[in-house]
Amino acid sequence: MPKVLMRGNHVVGEAAIRAGCRYYFGYPITPQNEIPEYMSEKLPEAEGGVFIQAESEIASVHMVIGASMAGGRVMTSSSGPGISLKQEGISFLCALELPAVIVNMSRGGPGLGNIAPSQSDYFQATRGGGHGDYRTIVFGPNSCQELADLTYEGFNLADKYRTPVLVLGDGMLGQMMEPVELPQEIPLKKLPAKDWALTGAKGRASRFIRSLILDPIKEEEHNWKLMRKYEKITREEVRWETYFADDAKMMVIAFGIAARIAKGAIKRLREEGVKVGLLRPITLWPFPFKAIKEISKKVKHFFVFEMNMGQMLEDVKLGLEGNGEVHFYGRPGGVILTPLEIARVISSQYYQKRLG
Amino acid sequence: MKKVFGRPKSLKATPFHYCPGCGHSIIHRLIGEVIDEMNLQEKIIGVPPAGCAVLAYNYFDIDMGEASHGRAAAVATGFKRVLPDRIVFTYQGDGDMAAIGTAESIHAAARGENITTIFVNNGVYGMTGGQMAPTTILGQNTTTSPRGRKEKTEGFPINLSEMLAIARGSSYIERTAVNTPANILKTKKAIAKAFRLQMQGYGFTLVEILSACPTNWKMDPVKSSKWIDEVMTSHFPLGVLKDNSGDKKDAH
């Protein structure tokens, strides 16, 4: 299929529609406004398509809940402060075991912060910013192509596991344009049947979907059931990639757009003979703990680069279990480093550790 | 022997957990009767709230999807937009509807969302133990207005149905009560009319029902019923607040 030049936020919308998403509920916030704008343009043209600009982030995520209960493929999107408001609904989506895709084109924080690209929502995304014992699948794409592929795949995983999937991008990924090969559109008839959806009890017993489980023994059972699902996801859905890892003496670990910048730095450093590689988690939850532990058998020096104050850093340390020295370099607030700048910091660490 | 009275088939054979004198049991039954009479059991979806009626799915033999506190109108919007040919209703209390869910309620009405809301107003937060609600009237004692609600400190109660009647997207709004046999019959007719108008695509419909909470009002059921007539209705007058249906008569 030929490539098209598209902006990241538009890619999300188009990939969702091609994945059979016909329902989008959102609320404006920069830097993701092109997603609702795209959906408002395209969904009414698609069979059964519905776009609603809701009165709030809270209302939009609860419209997602209703549409998901009714069996639709449904999406919402926002950025930092708006995702905070959606956390109530995300906790309910998990408890009610409902599929949905939620996109966060994150920005500088905390508070209103700014509208520049930042990765400061890693904790919120991977720890679950809402109440209760739950996990959400979190993708950390680093290109417009991956935005297309992971948004599309997100709908399949959400349906497969009946759980919400978060796509954690950032303002840079949402705003930049790249050539993208779009995924094949799935006909609505080929979408998986949902024998649990609430459609009116025609020709079958009535059913209900609820999260209130007053009996502690039954609530415990429900928590165990969710836990078994999360364990299966952890076993089967972890994704990561490595770059120049084979002979690396120092591994950079970065996700999303920071990993993209780090790749440029590593390419430059390799030309100078600096033996540095990259491990890039693609799923931020489940996190590739095993891959990190495996690499720590060969490599002892790790360089974690994030556009925040050190959030994924904690997962890296958990994965290493003490087997390796970790240096952290973070730039919060929406500051974007060039590959040259980050190359200088990496190489300074590399030579300080007398690796070259 | 001829059977003259029975359980509506859209209600399950589960005894209600509601307190003696509570209006929820009557309202559940009325909705069940309307669903049966209009033959809607196979194409209606209910959205129960957080609050005393959260367990409504244990009683209604229809598809039901729970909403968190205040979000029923948004959840119902999601249902209705995916399944526009089904009948979708929310069942909400006054705290749910007129405090935490004010935005969702007003905007569902403003959008003319083609759903029906059954708004049960008993003037208190029942399930949490009788705290002050947005509809608690001036002077009324609750566990969080123990000296009686005063406008200077607790502010005025909200007449949400009147506010929603202003919204251009709402088509039919009526306030009824379930404290007397006559009012119960009127309530049933209002619910049936709201469902009928939804089927005809009129947009947002709402039936507010004044309902007793003897436990939290700390009154016996008989006194509670009288209190609705003597005190509550002077703040929340019964009657049709809006009707765009063009019906010559009101629901009664």
Residue A309 shares a structural domain with residue A337: yes
The whole-number pLDDT of residue A128 equals 84
Q: Which of A95, A113, A221 is nearest to A162 (CA)?
A: A95
Q: Which of B140, B195, B151, B173 is nearest to B239 (CA)?
A: B173
Average pLDDT estimate for A102-121: 96
Higher-scoring residue by pLDDT: A278, A47: A278
Nearest CA in chain A to B57: A208
Strands B63-65 and B44-47: parallel
The sign of the torsion formed by the CA atoms of B243, B56, B51, A76 equals negative
The whole-number pLDDT of residue A311 equals 98
CA distance A315 to A130: 20
Where is A5: in which H helix or E strand? Answer: strand A4-7
A54 interaction partners in chain B (CB closer than 8 Å): 74, 107
Residue A152 shares a structural domain with residue A273: no
Q: What is the mean pLDDT of chain B?
A: 96
Chain B interface disruption, residue of A206, A214, A222, most B CBs within 10 A? A206
Residue A247 shares a structural domain with residue A232: no
The token duo for B88 is: 């979708």
Nearest CA in chain A to B88: A200
| pLDDT tens profile A73-110 | 999 999 999 999 999 999 999 999 999 999 999 999 99
Q: Which of A72, A92, A206 sits opposite B82 (nearest CB)?
A: A72
Which residue's structure tokens are 């596991």? A161
For residue B252, pLDDT beyond 70: no
The token duo for B92 is: 């909400």
Cβ atoms of A260 and A170 within 8 Å: the answer is no
Composition of chain A by helix, strand, coil, percent to 5: 45, 20, 35
What single string gives the DSSP state of each residue in B59-101?
TB-SEEE---TT-HHHHHHHHHHH-TTSEEEEEEEHHIIIIIT
Cβ atoms of B50 and B67 within 8 Å: the answer is yes
For residue B75, pLDDT beyond 90: yes
Residue A144 shares a structural domain with residue A263: no
The whole-number pLDDT of residue B124 equals 97
The whole-number pLDDT of residue B250 equals 54
A96 interaction partners in chain B (CB closer than 8 Å): 65-66
Domains of chain B, first to last? 24-243 (3.40.50.970)
Residue A34 shares a structural domain with residue A175: yes
Residue A110 shares a structural domain with residue A259: no
Buried b / exposed e over A295-308, threshold 16 CB at 10 Å, is: bbeebbbbbbbbbb
Average pLDDT estimate for B40-56: 95
Q: Which of B42, B50, B60 sits opposite A200 (nearest CB)?
A: B42
Residue A303 shares a structural domain with residue A278: yes
A218 vs chain B: nearest CA distance in angstroms? 15
Could you tell me if A195 lies within 8 Å of chain B, comparing CB atoms? Answer: no
A191, A210, A236 - which closes a domain: A236
Q: Which of A58, A123, A136, A30 is nearest to A93 (CA)?
A: A136
B103 vs chain A: nearest CA distance in angstroms? 7
Q: Is A264 exposed, middle or buried (0-12, 13-18, 19+ CB in 10 A)?
A: middle
Average pLDDT estimate for A128-154: 97
Residue A248 shares a structural domain with residue A318: yes
Nearest CA in chain A to B9: A206
Q: Which residues, at least 6 apart from A156, have a Cβ–Cβ distance to it below 8 Å?
A: A19
The whole-number pLDDT of residue A55 equals 98
CATH number, position A128? 3.40.50.970
CA distance A199 to B62: 10
Residue B137 three-state SS: coil
Higher-scoring residue by pLDDT: A13, B2: A13
Cα atoms found within 13 Å of the Cα of residue A347, Cβ hemisphere only: 16
Please report which confidence band the pLDDT of residue B1 belongs to, taking 50, 70 and 90 as the band edges: confident
| pLDDT tens profile B109-166 | 999 999 999 999 999 999 999 999 999 999 999 999 999 999 999 999 999 999 999 9
| pLDDT tens profile A250-264 | 999 999 999 999 999
Average pLDDT estimate for A197-226: 97
Residue A167 shares a structural domain with residue A263: no
For residue A28, pLDDT beyond 60: yes
Cβ atoms of A148 and A139 within 8 Å: the answer is no
Average pLDDT estimate for A65-77: 98
A207 interaction partners in chain B (CB closer than 8 Å): 63
B50 interaction partners in chain A (CB closer than 8 Å): 212
Radius of gyration (Cα) for chain B, nearest Å?
A: 17
| pLDDT tens profile A299-314 | 999 999 999 999 999 9
The whole-number pLDDT of residue B249 equals 61
The whole-number pLDDT of residue A320 equals 97
Asked if A54's CB is within 8 angstroms of B74's CB, the reply is yes
Rounded alpha-carbon distances, angstroms, from residue A9 to A115, A117, B70 = 14, 13, 31
Asked if A74's CB is within 8 angstroms of B71's CB, the reply is no
Chain B interface disruption, residue of A62, A97, A214, A218, most B CBs within 10 A? A62
Could you tell me if A207 lies within 8 Å of chain B, comparing CB atoms? Answer: yes
| pLDDT tens profile A262-278 | 999 999 999 999 999 99
The whole-number pLDDT of residue B248 equals 67
Residue A189 shares a structural domain with residue A274: no
Asked if B44's CB is within 8 angstroms of A59's CB, the reply is no
ipTM above 0.90, yes or no: yes
Where is B242: in which H helix or E strand? Answer: strand B239-243
Range of the domain at A108: 4-236
Residue A246 shares a structural domain with residue A232: no
The whole-number pLDDT of residue B247 equals 82
Q: Which of A63, A96, A206 sits opposite B78 (nearest CB)?
A: A63
For residue A53, pLDDT beyond 80: yes
A42 vs chain B: nearest CA distance in angstroms? 16
Nearest CA in chain B to A214: B55
Could you tell me if A71 lies within 8 Å of chain B, comparing CB atoms? Answer: yes
A186, A214, A236 - which closes a domain: A236
Could you tell me if A96 lies within 8 Å of chain B, comparing CB atoms? Answer: yes
The whole-number pLDDT of residue A237 equals 98
The whole-number pLDDT of residue A1 equals 76
Chain A interface disruption, residue of B42, B75, B92, B105, most A CBs within 10 A? B75
CA distance A167 to A136: 10
CATH number, position A339? 3.40.50.920
Residue A85 three-state SS: helix
A283 vs chain B: nearest CA distance in angstroms? 29
Cβ atoms of A133 and A226 within 8 Å: the answer is yes
Residue A130 shares a structural domain with residue A158: yes
Asked if A68's CB is within 8 angstroms of B75's CB, the reply is no
A179, A204, A236 - which closes a domain: A236
First and final C-alpha spacing in chain A: 44
For residue B69, pLDDT beyond 70: yes
| pLDDT tens profile B166-213 | 999 999 999 999 999 999 999 999 999 999 999 999 999 999 999 999
The whole-number pLDDT of residue A356 equals 86
The token duo for A335 is: 């500051």
Q: What percentage of chain B has pLDDT greater than the value 70? A: 98
Rounded alpha-carbon distances, angstroms, from residue B252 to A212, B3, B176, B185, B192 = 38, 27, 11, 9, 11
Chain B interface residues (partner A, CB cutoff 8 A): 41-45, 47-48, 50, 54-55, 57, 60-68, 71, 74-83, 86, 103-104, 106-107, 111
Chain B interface disruption, residue of A43, A50, A63, A131, most B CBs within 10 A? A63
Q: What is the mean pLDDT of chain A?
A: 97
For residue A328, pLDDT beyond 90: yes
User: How many domains does the structure of chain A reveal?
Assistant: 2
